[in-house]
């Protein structure tokens, strides 16, 4: 995990109550409040415990397979004809995405707290699979809440969770996607306060989750820094990552927040296009509000009702975003852009054919933006894109779409 931040650092947030500026906080029902305070206290203690640190590092290395490589994507670099493009290969992690970095941290914390039952929400199913995996490893009971629509479009991951011994609850309320899965997980947690630990899969939820998940994911950025120094002898110029709730992006960005020469770009899901209202770009198309325990940018109507997000990618199909991103957005430290479903699909196909890597639809969004900027940048400009997940889970859903577009 990251070293302590100096004074005036952009890395020193949140405050004691979980606020990043006006964002973050703990907006939950009283029933949950004592549980969240317990998690906060336990995490504070764990952070200071070298044994926890040691365990965390042990599993990162021997179980997840970290460090993940920093790979020079030469053919895509040639293809775009500008900046030098590196991939941070978190798709090579055990279970196929960055999600497990965080899950191992929280599962170890749950174990320290004596909890033997775990719940999780999942969108693409990667967080659900990672949680089911850690639970199998540690002999814990696992229940995963997943929107019914996502159960359909990410079926391979549903099967994996079941194989790993997790119980998957399809959620049919609301839009039957990630937001509703999170509602349902929170509702369930309220009814099991004594026994269950809730492993949240992104940098959202009530404090301490946004900070805790970020800390566990920061291994991505810490490794990237060291690997880039080794490869190029200097820091990268631009980092690009896809944003659902924002955990892979925050993990990559956070160690670089004070390196103000490094440009940071978060790529939201533009769905059918921002102008259509069918998208999942909370920063580009939303405004501040309160949902799922924190204040952040949300897709909502005039009356404060949450509107349905849309993205081809189940992992990005969420009407909110982690509160630290909202704060970084208002500060202007990170630039947030949006990429459409179609652009992501094209990048999915391009990456597969040019690099022999089938990316998940989520990082395909990041790649689409890399494709937009790389050509116009000088050849010595170093871009790192977080290739945060592999696309096996998307194959079934993507093939008919690629065929329809004549890309297959």
Ligand X SMILES: Cc1ncc(COP(=O)(O)O)c(C=O)c1O
- Interface with other proteins by CB under 8 A: which residues? 17, 25-35, 173-174, 179, 183, 186-187, 190-194, 288-293, 298, 300, 302-306
Residue 222 sits in the site that holds ligand X (CB under 6 A): no
d(CA 3, CA 102): 17
Beta strands in 351-395 (DSSP E): 382-386
360 interacts with, out of ligand X, other proteins, none, CB within 5 to 8 A per kind: ligand X
Site residues (CB under 6 A) for ligand X, limited to 142-201: none
Residue 246 sits in the site that holds ligand X (CB under 6 A): yes
> In the complex with ligand X, which residue's Cβ is closer, 249 or 370?
249
The contact pattern for ligand X, residues 368-397, with x = CB under 6 A and - = no contact, is: --------------------xx--------
DSSP three-state, residue 45: helix
Stretch that binds ligand X, among 31-39, 69-77, 239-247, 345-353 (CB under 6 A): 239-247
Residue 319 sits in the site that holds ligand X (CB under 6 A): no
Q: How far is the CB of 138 from ligand X (least distance, A)?
A: 22
What is the end-to-end Cα distance of the chain in Å, rounded?
Answer: 42
Q: Residue 352: name the closest of 314, 408, 288, 311 by CA.
A: 408
DSSP three-state, residue 346: helix
φ/ψ region of 174 (left if φ > 0, alpha if ψ in -120 to 50, else beta) reads left
> In the complex with other proteins, which residue's Cβ is closer, 56 or 297?
297
247 interacts with, out of other proteins, ligand X, none, CB within 5 to 8 A per kind: ligand X
Residue 243 sits in the site that holds ligand X (CB under 6 A): yes
Q: Kindly write down the DSSP assignment for every residue of 106-125, as one continuous string.
A: HHHHHHHTT--EEEEEESSS
Q: Are strands 287-291 and 293-298 parallel, antiparallel or unpaired?
A: antiparallel
For residue 156, CA distances in Å to 129, 163, 396 come to 10, 11, 9
Residue 323 sits in the site that holds ligand X (CB under 6 A): no
Q: Which residues bind ligand X (CB under 6 A)?
A: 97, 99, 123-124, 126-127, 202, 242-249, 315-316, 360, 362-363, 388-389
């Amino acid at each position: 995990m990251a070293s302590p931040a100096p004074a005036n650092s952009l890395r020193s947030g949140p405050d004691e109550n979980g606020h990043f500026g006006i964002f973050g906080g703990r907006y939950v029902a009283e029933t949950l409040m004592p549980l969240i305070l317990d998690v906060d206290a336990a995490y504070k203690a764990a952070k200071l415990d070298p044994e926890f640190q040691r365990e965390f590092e042990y599993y990162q290395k021997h179980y997840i397979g970290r460090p993940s490589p920093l790979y020079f994507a030469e053919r895509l670099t040639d293809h775009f004809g500008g900046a030098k493009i590196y991939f941070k290969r978190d798709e090579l992690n055990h279970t196929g995405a960055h999600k497990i970095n965080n899950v191992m941290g929280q599962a170890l914390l749950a174990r320290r707290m004596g909890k033997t039952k775990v719940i999780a929400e999942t969108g693409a199913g990667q967080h659900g699979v990672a949680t089911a995996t850690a639970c199998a490893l540690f002999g814990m009971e696992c229940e995963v809440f997943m929107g019914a629509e996502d159960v359909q479009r990410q079926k391979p991951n549903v099967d994996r969770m079941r194989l790993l011994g997790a119980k998957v609850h399809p959620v049919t309320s609301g839009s039957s996607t990630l937001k509703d899965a999170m509602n349902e997980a929170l509702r369930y947690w309220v009814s099991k306060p004594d026994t269950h630990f809730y492993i949240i899969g992104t940098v959202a939820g009530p404090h301490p989750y946004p900070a805790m998940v970020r800390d566990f994911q920061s291994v991505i950025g810490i490794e990237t820094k060291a690997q880039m120094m080794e490869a190029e002898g200097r820091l990268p110029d631009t980092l690009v990552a896809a944003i659902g709730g924002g955990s892979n992006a925050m993990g990559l960005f956070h160690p670089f927040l004070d390196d103000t020469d490094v440009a940071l770009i978060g790529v939201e899901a533009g769905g059918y296009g921002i102008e259509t209202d069918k998208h999942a770009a909370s920063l580009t198309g939303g405004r501040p509000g309160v949902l799922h325990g924190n204040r952040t940018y949300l897709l909502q109507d005039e009356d404060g009702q949450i509107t349905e997000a849309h993205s081809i990618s189940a992992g990005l199909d969420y009407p909110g975003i982690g509160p630290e991103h909202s704060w970084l957005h208002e500060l202007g430290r990170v630039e947030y852009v949006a990429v459409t479903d179609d652009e992501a699909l094209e990048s999915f196909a391009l990456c597969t054919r040019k690099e022999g890597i089938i990316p998940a639809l989520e990082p395909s969004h990041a790649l689409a933006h890399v494709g937009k900027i790389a050509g116009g940048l000088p050849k010595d400009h170093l871009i790192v894109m977080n290739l945060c997940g592999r696309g096996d889970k998307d194959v079934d859903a993507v093939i008919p779409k690629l065929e329809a577009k004549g890309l297959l």
